[in-house]
Chains A and B, each alone.
Chain A
Amino acid sequence: METEGTLSLERANQLDDQRAQPERANERALIEGARRGDPSAHRALYDTHVDRVYRLAHRLTGVEHLAREVTQDTFVRAFAGIEGFRGDSAFGTWLHQIAVSLSLNEIKRQKRERARNAPLDDAMALGEHTAPSDPVLREKLMQAVNDLPEGCRTVFMMHDAEGYTHQEIAAALGVTEGTSKAQLARARGKLRVALAQFAGEWKP
């Protein structure tokens, strides 16, 4: 079963690779342009990646102004250090690495300052569709997510909240896909324990 799933994933990845080749060539040209200082290349790279970087930063920091700062810093650092970008990974992956690192620094800073006086709704924007309706449960869930170990929380937010694949998470965090999967399972296990009093919400 696992082998079959792995094979189909490989085939899907091959097809994705074929489709992505022209995009990669275009991105390589943009990176070369950015290295030469071409402002339009900077802008094109920004336009291509900014949405995902911002969403990731927002998921991890939970606060709009921090998400903005992290996103801005990510691009400032990426453009300043683009000479050092060797192209071993996709440019987007490199940006996500920077964004995750900056976001985690921000989170640590927030924790140190103990300045989380904002109401929970500021740190947790609720969608209309799938959020738990019980406000106590919502609060407990967010609190439990925030109490997860840093790496565990990052994997959970990237996978379950933002929809990254384990392959993308592994590339962005510099871990193996196995680690990403294991940490997601740990995160869910810890959340299940933390929310045990609400078990009726998910048990049939």
Chain B
Amino acid sequence: MNDHRKHDLNDNQYDFGTDANVVPPDDPAFDAWVAKAAPALNAPRSDVPRAEMWEAIQAARRTSEDAQAGKVRGVTPIPRAPWRLLSVIAAALLIGVALDRVFLHKADRPVPPVAAVPSRADSSDPARLYRMAAAQTLTQAEALLTAYRAGGTAERDPVMARQLGTWGRQVLSSTRLLIDSPAGDDPQLRALFNDLELVLVQIIQLSGAPLDPSDRALIDRALESKDLLPRIRTAVPAGVAAAGSAD
């Protein structure tokens, strides 16, 4: 029973605590009391806001579909075709080198830890290759989003806005390939790429013209609500470490 439970707990994604296998004795009086009290915890106060949520869902789907259909200026749709892993690895690494040269040195920003990414791209393990490409893409995404956030006056600088747009399109291509990859079986990483995709589309969509404060607020809100940068920063070392440990 204990072995079975341990196996079960280790096989899922939830944190049950360090003493997960220690089950205390029952106290029927307390159990009955807490079972009565619990329905009041975090109970919704009002009716379910069905109509408002449906509107928001429809709006989010329209944005995504427009981007896919090429209706968003500056976003080139890519077919959600069967994925070719090696081409993504190559594309991600090439984009990484190019962006590093064009943007990161120019911005005099500390070089991202590309050296930490294992260079043995000839491995035949798809999961390892996927993690390498994911780490590379997320590193670039972090640099892009940091540059976007640091650009306090970028909304008045059309050149900077265009550069961000170009950069964003390249990172978006890698992101979409990684989303479509069958090797991407980590639901948290996939969710992160989905959120990143939406923010990148917004940055690209608004890069063709100087950003006004409301445009920028829209992107900032998306960045904030999805907690994107901290999640990327958390995911990158994990991805690199996992790739490295596969050696």
| Residues of A bordering B, CB below 8 Å | 43, 46-47, 50-51, 54-55, 58-62, 64, 67-69, 71-72, 75-77, 79-80, 101-102, 104-105, 109, 112, 123-127, 129-132, 141-142, 145, 148-152, 154, 156-157, 160-163, 173-176, 178-179, 182-183, 185-186, 188-192, 201-204
Contact at B42–A60, with CB atoms within 8 Å? yes
Residues of A contacting B25 with CB < 8 Å? 189
* Contact count band on B: 35 or more
Q: A80-B64, A175-B9, A179-B8 are in contact. Are A161 and B43 (CB under 8 A)?
A: yes
Contact at B42–A131, with CB atoms within 8 Å? no
A67 to B52 Cα, complex, angstroms: 13
Residues of A contacting B106 with CB < 8 Å? none
Q: A55-B48, A79-B61, A188-B31 are in contact. Are A156 and B38 (CB under 8 A)?
A: yes
> Given known contacts A47-B50, A72-B60, what 10 new A-B pairs fall within 8 Å (CB)?
A64-B44, A71-B53, A76-B57, A77-B191, A77-B194, A105-B227, A130-B40, A152-B16, A188-B26, A202-B33
Query: B125 at the A/B interface (Cβ < 8 Å)?
Result: no
Contact at B41–A192, with CB atoms within 8 Å? no
User: Chain B's interface: helix, strand, loop or mixed, by majority?
Assistant: helix
Interface string of B221-245 (1 = CB under 8 A from A): 0000101001000000000000000
Task: Say how far B3's CB is from chain A's closest CB, in angstroms.
Answer: 12
Residues of B contacting A151 with CB < 8 Å? 9, 12, 14-17, 20
| Residues of B bordering A, CB below 8 Å | 1, 4-5, 8-9, 11-17, 19-20, 22-27, 29-46, 48-50, 52-54, 56-57, 60-61, 64, 187-188, 191, 194, 225, 227, 230
Closest-by-CB residue of B relative to A57 is B44
Residues of B contacting A162 with CB < 8 Å? 39
Contact at A62–B42, with CB atoms within 8 Å? yes
Contact at A54–B56, with CB atoms within 8 Å? no
